[in-house]
Amino acid sequence: MAKEAVVHIRMDAELKREAEELFRSMGTSFSEAVRMMAQRSVDLGALPFSVKKKQKSAFGIASKYANPNLIPLEEEAWGNAVAEKYRKDLT
């Protein structure tokens, strides 16, 4: 198949560097990896990996039991505990 189309994307420079390094270690290029993903997506009629919505607060199985009103208090308590630990380490 002829390679006639050009695709331009913007991404974080560090992510690009890491991806290029990974694909090079696998014996291919970033461009070829993108072509493989596109072909696999067309073959499957879907993305070749699962995509999930990011969790915003609680994680895992317990997330459905989380009380959104307590999250700010828990975050503050965690910050206070860490600060106290480091205060003790400095003395």
Which pLDDT does position 79 carry in this prediction? 78
Q: What is the mean pLDDT of residues 61-87?
A: 75
Q: Per-residue pLDDT tens for 57-69?
A: 555 666 677 777 8
More confident residue, 74 or 8: 8
- DSSP string of 28-89? S-HHHHHHHHHHHHHHHTS-SS---PPPSS--SGGGGG--TTTHHHHHHHHHHHHHHHHHHH
Would the pTM count as exceeding 0.85? no
Q: Per-residue pLDDT tens for 6-57?
A: 999 999 999 999 999 999 999 999 999 999 999 999 999 998 888 776 656 5
